[in-house]
Every structure is written in structure tokens, then in C-alpha cells.
Structure 1
Amino acid sequence: MRQTNKVFHLAIPCKELDETVDFYEKLGCKLARRYDDRVTFDFFGDQVVCHLSPTNIDDKPKMYPRHFGVTFLEKKEYNQALADATAKELSFFKEPMVRFEGKQEEHMTFFLIDPANNLLEFKYYHDSSMVY
């Protein structure tokens, strides 16, 4: 998947561990560890830790400035993630769309919302030089 010896780590709140595990496993993430207060996932090659923190849930999440996700380098992987999210009836925060149409930074994107209202963006740039 990635050609580096580093793994990005992100810690986010969750309100309930079982529903969190269900969501992220449906997304295709592998449960790495589970404790009484947190779960750790292999999130597309990176580490996401969901800490039990029901009093720290954003009741009205917005896409900006806080979200995280995956930028696919292969269009077929983006399409597969979208197909999987749809088939598994994961909750969309923003339906699939094209941003910056006709510009070099044009990309396909969709946003999911997890059970703790964390927003996840999945995208694919037609011009791979725009990934970073």
C-alpha cells in the first residue's frame, strides 16, 4: 500500500466502543487492539485510535476545519471504497461529488460520518501531483 517506514497516528473520540468497532470494520479497517477505554485500528495503513469519550462528541460537526480520511492514488480503490460504503449502508455526511471541476486540483470526494460524528473524507485526484 504505502512505500514508507512510518505510520501516521490519529486519536479521536468515540461514544461507544461496540458501534465504533462495527463502523470501522464495515469500512474495511482491521481491529488491532481493544481495551476498556479505546480501540485501535489499521486505518488504510495508518493507526486510528478511538478513545471512549462520550462527553467530547461534536453534536454539530462541520467538514471544515476538522476531518480526516484517505486520498487514494488509484481511481479503482476510490470507486471500491465508495461501493463498499454504499453497500454496507454507512452514513454519508456529504454524497459523492467533484470539487474544483476543470482545474488541475479537480478531485472526486465523499464524506462519511462515524457514530461519534467524526467526519471522514475519501478522495481521488485525477492529477496525482495534486495529492500533496
Structure 2
Amino acid sequence: MTPFHLAFPVRDLEETRRFYQDVLGCTIGRSSDTWVDFDLFGHQMSAHLRPQATAAARDGQVDGVAVPIPHFGVVLLMDQWRELAERLEANSATDWLERPMVRFKDEPGEQATLFIRDPSGNALEFKGFRSMEQVFAH
């Protein structure tokens, strides 16, 4: 797998550091007073300070459920996804957009999914599959 890189806006670097490190379990990479890099399941995420950052609108539809656009996240194997979902459910500060659910039940590409917001309002989706071969199944 080749890691991807994503730069995204945040309103406050310290609250962003706490969320990505303490809640999602990311390690912190290089940083400055205007940005910080995180290792999100092997991918390079760069949070850039933009105090005017706003939340994503819920204007997409997937399997009959409204989803925020834009959003980003990671595809995980089901055991990793369950571990993350349990950690998020145990955290009373989790800002849920969609609680854990299964989408496309008994169809090709069946997946578990959840949506949360980070402290700056960025929408994140985490998907869980029984095998990576199902990611692009149709």
C-alpha cells in the first residue's frame, strides 16, 4: 500500500493535536506553529491552521443515509474498525455524525461505517471490511 497525503484546515492546532493523538491514536510527525503532521493508520495527514475553518455540510447520500461532503477517512479491516468504534463510543466527547452501522448488508462491498467530526468540524469516515478485496466490489 502506498500512503496518501491530505492537508486539511483546522481552527486550533492544540485541540487538533489532542484529538488526533489522544482520541484517534495518531502519532505526531513534524510540525510548526501553523501546521502539524499526523500518522493516521499509515497515511500522512497535515493539519493547517485556518481559524475560519467551517464544518462540512450533510449534502451527500449513500445507501439512503445523508453524509457530509467533503469528508475523509481510512478503510480498515473489521477488527481494527471495531476497536476504533469502541474507543470512540467510550469517549463522551465524540462528536458523532453517524454512529457505527453496516451499509450494503449482504451485498458486494458490505461495510461497517461511522462518521465523526474533529474539533474544527472536519468530517471523518472510518470504514471496516472483512477483507480488503471487498473495498471495490460491485
Indicate how the Cα distance of structure 1 residues 29 and 84 shifts in structure 2: closer, same or farther if over 3 A, else same.
Answer: same
Counterpart in the other structure of 2:85:
82
Q: Is the contact between residue 71 and residue 125 of structure 2 (CA under 8 Å) also seen in structure 1?
A: yes
1:28-43 to 2 correspondence within 5 Å? 28-43=25-40
Moved over 6 A (4+): none
Is 1:12 aligned to residue 8 of structure 2?
A: yes
SS in 2 for 1:55: coil
Match of 1:130 among 115, 129, 134: 134
Match of 2:111 among 86, 102, 107: 107
More strand by share: 2
**Deviation (angstroms), 1:116:** 1.0
CA distance in 2, matches of 1:128, 1:50: 27
Structure 1: stretches of 5+ with no match in the other structure: none
**Deviation (angstroms), 1:7:** 2.5
How many aligned positions are there? 126
Q: Is the contact between residue 30 and residue 37 of structure 2 (CA under 8 Å) also seen in structure 1?
A: yes
**Deviation (angstroms), 1:53:** 0.3
Structure 2: stretches of 5+ with no match in the other structure: 59-66
Percent of aligned pairs sharing the same letter: 37
The residue type paired with residue 81 of structure 2 is Y
Is 1:61 aligned to residue 65 of structure 2?
A: no
What TM-score results when the alignment is normalised by the length of structure 1?
0.86
Indicate how the Cα distance of structure 1 residues 8 and 127 shifts in structure 2: closer, same or farther if over 3 A, else same.
Answer: closer
What TM-score results when the alignment is normalised by the length of structure 2?
0.82
